[in-house]
Amino acid sequence: EQSIKWWQKAVVYQIYPRSFQDSNNDGIGDLKGIESRLDYVKKLGADVIWLNPVYDSPNEDNGYDISDYEVINPEFGSMEDFESLLSEAHARGIKIVMDLVVNHSSSKHKWFIESKSSKDNPKRDFYIWRDPVDGHEPNNWGSFFSGPAWKFDEETGQYYMHLFAEGQPDLNWANPEVRQTVFDMMNRWVDKGIDGFRMDVISLLSKPDGLPDGPVPEDAHYASSNDMVANGPKIHDYLQEMREKVLNNADIMTVGEASNVDIKNAKRYAAKDGSELNMVFQFEHMELDENADPALGKWDNTPLPLPKLKENLTKWQNELADIAWNSLYWENHDQPRSVSRFGSDKPEFHAVSAKMLATLLHFMQGTPYIYQGQEIGMTNAYNLDWEDFNDIEIKNARRYLVERDGLIDADTLLDYVHYKGRDNARTPMQWTDGENAGFTTGTPWLKLNNNFNKINVDKALEDEDSIFYHYQKLIAFRHDLDIVTTGRYELLDPEDEQVYAYKRVGENEELLVINSFAEESIVREFDVPEGAEILISNYKDDAGKTLRPYESKVYRYA
Ligand code: ISL
Ligand code: CA
């Protein structure tokens, strides 16, 4: 019998502090606001809160550009507020996982200010500086946010690397002093009593030797730095060093955000022997609906074919089983709303499809992550227009793909942004149907989705059939039924274009999880043994072989 770890039975609720709850009506969500909503998270049943970055930051990338790792962003409150939040969460049995963003800092961090000040500054080597090559960038890598991955510094005549925004210079992990400085900082957070780290773009820490040029797709200006850097030569050494110097010091949970991770590397990052991290966020299922033109990357609006999704998630379920551990997610602050992307936000299908997606995810093997608002079925924000967007990824896409390169026109990009843009997830949490949805009485930092009169927490809590209570039940099953943690996963009918059905096979029982993605009733026959009980469904009754629109049901039998 393998022993089950606490984080394998846990469900994580992700909070984007800027958009969760404002306590002082400056229009920006804050720590006191989160504290005031802990009972809501408790009611849902989540065990862990992952907080997006709350550290001091000039907010070029909403907190992912950190100017001081040990100071709370004054917009969010103080260190006292943080400590209060942590102890109030712990008092309710809720753990708190912090975002760790150490692939890069902000350009306003004192390390970078020193590093930039001269070529012989002791901090010069904290970042990645290179001479120009033929008067150009040192190599042809592109930034994740469009444009080049290098910025020229006039004063010292060199370029620095920024895989993300210009204000996010990459730290030089090859420098042992950088590593030790980061580990010391992490230990101080561990000493404070936090319960884990979500590690931003952790697969990008180790850059390839010589920083070689990469292949440039047709029509594109740059090589993919993601392809060039992810899972670099020293990454596993760095994580093992982190394990020894920090992570072994406490029973904390770790999840690495691993863009471009493949199964082979995931097996090492998330190995069961605990030598590196507990689990990773993989992105393959988030990339199945990318544009066929690599120059446009994620920007597209065509829904993905179900068999591709099944094939992909099944690969991760099967390949990591017994060897490593999966994370499970449909949403986060970088992704659009799942009900709009994989289900349907049409009024007639909204609730059923949101519940179906929830069931499909929560019965898989891994640790589920619920992004704030997902539990009430918040949708993409079609009412936001160019003047409303805040996200640097959206703004840079317009600047480079539309204005500089003329690859698409602004209206087409707007359609894509309404389907895929990150601000879809970042509009304020919808608590009530009152002023600004109960988020703030000030001016919200980002416009609200205008459907908050229909989709909000108040309404969800009043309705016993709501999406919220469906999530509540699913979370309880994860706590109560070991088979959800340990059962073997088995995909049924891989080619079925409308139904995603799978089994979880335990020693003495099985679960059969049937999920329809069809908007009409369809008929499917499954081998359901006599006496099977329906554990959960998104319809009130059972229609046997008929699956109604987005119907989802789970059978349990011996
Ligand atoms: O957002 C993305 C696609 O739309 C991703 O490429 C994303 O940039 C990548 O997964 C890394 O994300 C993380 O690091 C970024 C930050 O902007 C994201 O919010 C964060 O989740 C840089 O720190
Ligand atoms: Ca505030």
Judged against a pLDDT cut of 90, whether residue 218 lies above it is answered with no
The rounded Å distance from CA 412 to ligand 1 centre is 22
| Per-residue exposure over 486-496, b if at least 16 CB sit within 10 Å of its own CB, e if not | bbbbebbeeeb
The rounded Å distance from CA 85 to ligand 2 centre is 15
The rounded Å distance from CA 245 to ligand 1 centre is 26
Specify whether 257 is catalytic.
Answer: yes
Number of C-beta neighbours around residue 529 at 10 A: 10
CA dist., res. 28 & res. 428, Å (int):
9
CA dist., res. 299 & res. 419, Å (int):
9
CA dist., res. 524 & res. 526, Å (int):
7
Choice among 56, 75, 166, 200 that is catalytic: 200
Reported as a pLDDT band with limits 50, 70 and 90, residue 3 is confident
Strand partners, 509: none
Q: Whose CA is nearest to atom 7 of ligand 1?
A: 334
Q: What percent of the chain shows pLDDT beyond 70? A: 100
Which fold, 110-161? Oligo-1,6-glucosidase; domain 2 (3.90.400)
Average pLDDT over residues 217-236: 94
Strand partners, 522: 547
In 3D, which of 517, 543, 495 has the Cα closest to residue 360? 517
Cβ-count burial of 527 within 10 angstroms (0-12 exposed, 13-18 middle, 19+ buried)? Answer: exposed
Judged against a pLDDT cut of 70, whether residue 2 lies above it is answered with no
Average pLDDT over residues 257-279: 95
Taking the CA of residue 101 as reference, the ligand 1 atom at the shortest distance is: 23
| Unique residue bearing structure tokens 């797709």 | 217
The predicted pLDDT at position 1 comes to 44
Q: What is the mean pLDDT of the chain?
A: 97
The rounded Å distance from CA 369 to ligand 1 centre is 17
Query: In testing the pocket of ligand 1, which one of 98, 104, 161, 201 has its CB within 8 Å of the most ligand atoms?
Result: 201
CA dist., res. 62 & res. 299, Å (int):
21
CA dist., res. 471 & res. 485, Å (int):
17
Number of C-beta neighbours around residue 390 at 10 A: 17
Average pLDDT over residues 59-63: 96
Domain 488-557, CATH homologous superfamily name and number: Golgi alpha-mannosidase II (2.60.40.1180)
Strand partners, 96: 49
Judged against a pLDDT cut of 60, whether residue 206 lies above it is answered with yes
Q: Give pLDDT tens digits for 283-330.
A: 999 999 999 998 999 999 998 899 999 999 999 999 999 999 999 999
Q: Give pLDDT tens digits for 371-425.
A: 999 999 999 999 999 999 999 999 999 999 999 999 999 999 999 999 999 999 9
Taking the CA of residue 226 as reference, the ligand 1 atom at the shortest distance is: 6
Among the bound ligands, the one closest to the CA of 25: 2
Average pLDDT over residues 550-556: 98
With contact defined as beta carbons under 8 Å apart, do 338 and 331 qualify?
yes
Choice among 75, 81, 257, 345 that is catalytic: 257
Query: In testing the pocket of ligand 1, which one of 101, 334, 393 has its CB within 8 Å of the most ligand atoms?
Result: 334
Among the bound ligands, the one closest to the CA of 391: 1
Average pLDDT over residues 462-489: 98
The rounded Å distance from CA 306 to ligand 1 centre is 25
The predicted pLDDT at position 21 comes to 98
Average pLDDT over residues 91-115: 98
Which ranges of 398-520 would DSSP assign to H, the alpha helix? 410-420, 423-426, 457-462, 467-480, 482-486
The ligand 1 site (C-beta within 6 Å) comprises 61, 64, 101, 144, 164, 200-201, 257, 259, 298, 333-334, 393, 422
Query: In testing the pocket of ligand 1, which one of 97, 105, 164 has its CB within 8 Å of the most ligand atoms?
Result: 164
* Angle made by CA atoms 432, 436, 440, in degrees to the nearest 5: 100
Q: Biggest alpha carbon distance in the chain?
A: 78
Q: Whose CA is nearest to atom 8 of ligand 1?
A: 144
Average pLDDT over residues 26-46: 98
The predicted pLDDT at position 254 comes to 98
The rounded Å distance from CA 372 to ligand 1 centre is 17
**Beta carbons within 8 Å of 457's beta carbon, 6+ residues apart:** 40, 376, 429, 430, 431, 432, 438, 468
As given in the structure block, the two tokens for residue 126 are 């904290």
The predicted pLDDT at position 507 comes to 94
- The sign of the CA dihedral 130, 134, 140, 144 is positive
The predicted pLDDT at position 220 comes to 87
Cβ-count burial of 297 within 10 angstroms (0-12 exposed, 13-18 middle, 19+ buried)? Answer: buried
Among the bound ligands, the one closest to the CA of 229: 1
The predicted pLDDT at position 259 comes to 86
Q: Give pLDDT tens digits for 108-162.
A: 999 999 999 999 999 999 999 999 999 999 999 999 998 999 999 999 999 999 9
With contact defined as beta carbons under 8 Å apart, do 546 and 507 qualify?
no
The rounded Å distance from CA 369 to ligand 2 centre is 25
Average pLDDT over residues 539-543: 96
Q: How far is CA 391 from CA 94, 417, 425, 526, in A?
A: 30, 11, 11, 45
Q: Whose CA is nearest to atom 19 of ligand 1?
A: 334
3-class SS of residue 148 = strand
Taking the CA of residue 259 as reference, the ligand 1 atom at the shortest distance is: 10
3-class SS of residue 499 = strand
CA dist., res. 291 & res. 302, Å (int):
8
With contact defined as beta carbons under 8 Å apart, do 331 and 425 qualify?
yes
CA dist., res. 477 & res. 483, Å (int):
10
Q: Whose CA is nearest to atom 23 of ligand 1?
A: 64
| Residue 63: alpha-carbon gap to chain centroid | 15
Q: Whose CA is nearest to atom 10 of ligand 1?
A: 259
- The sign of the CA dihedral 232, 238, 240, 243 is negative
**Beta carbons within 8 Å of 283's beta carbon, 6+ residues apart:** 258, 259, 260, 261
The rounded Å distance from CA 444 to ligand 2 centre is 10
Number of C-beta neighbours around residue 482 at 10 A: 14
Q: Whose CA is nearest to atom 18 of ligand 1?
A: 334
Taking the CA of residue 64 as reference, the ligand 1 atom at the shortest distance is: 23
The rounded Å distance from CA 321 to ligand 1 centre is 27
Beta strands 533-537 and 546-547 are unpaired
Query: In testing the pocket of ligand 1, which one of 102, 144, 282 has its CB within 8 Å of the most ligand atoms?
Result: 144
CA dist., res. 552 & res. 357, Å (int):
9
Among the bound ligands, the one closest to the CA of 16: 1
With contact defined as beta carbons under 8 Å apart, do 167 and 106 qualify?
yes
pTM above 0.90, yes or no: yes
Q: Give pLDDT tens digits for 70-82.
A: 999 999 999 999 9
Taking the CA of residue 165 as reference, the ligand 1 atom at the shortest distance is: 22
The predicted pLDDT at position 117 comes to 98
In 3D, which of 130, 170, 172, 122 has the Cα closest to residue 152? 130
Taking the CA of residue 286 as reference, the ligand 1 atom at the shortest distance is: 3
CA dist., res. 63 & res. 83, Å (int):
19
Domain 8-103+176-474, CATH homologous superfamily name and number: Glycosidases (3.20.20.80)
Q: How far is CA 533 from CA 112, 171, 509, 510, 537, in A?
A: 60, 54, 12, 11, 11
Q: For 521-553, what is the HEC assignment?
A: CEECCCCCCCCCEEEEECCCCCCCCEECCCCEE
Judged against a pLDDT cut of 70, whether residue 30 lies above it is answered with yes
Q: What percent of the chain shows pLDDT beyond 90? A: 97
Specify whether 200 is catalytic.
Answer: yes
With contact defined as beta carbons under 8 Å apart, do 536 and 478 qualify?
no
Among the bound ligands, the one closest to the CA of 17: 2
With contact defined as beta carbons under 8 Å apart, do 406 and 54 qualify?
no
Judged against a pLDDT cut of 80, whether residue 523 lies above it is answered with yes
| Per-residue exposure over 86-112, b if at least 16 CB sit within 10 Å of its own CB, e if not | beebeeeebbbbbbbbbbbbbbbbebb
**Beta carbons within 8 Å of 530's beta carbon, 6+ residues apart:** none
Name the residue ranges covered by the structural domains of the chain.
8-103+176-474, 110-161, 488-557
Average pLDDT over residues 520-529: 97
As given in the structure block, the two tokens for residue 417 are 């942004």
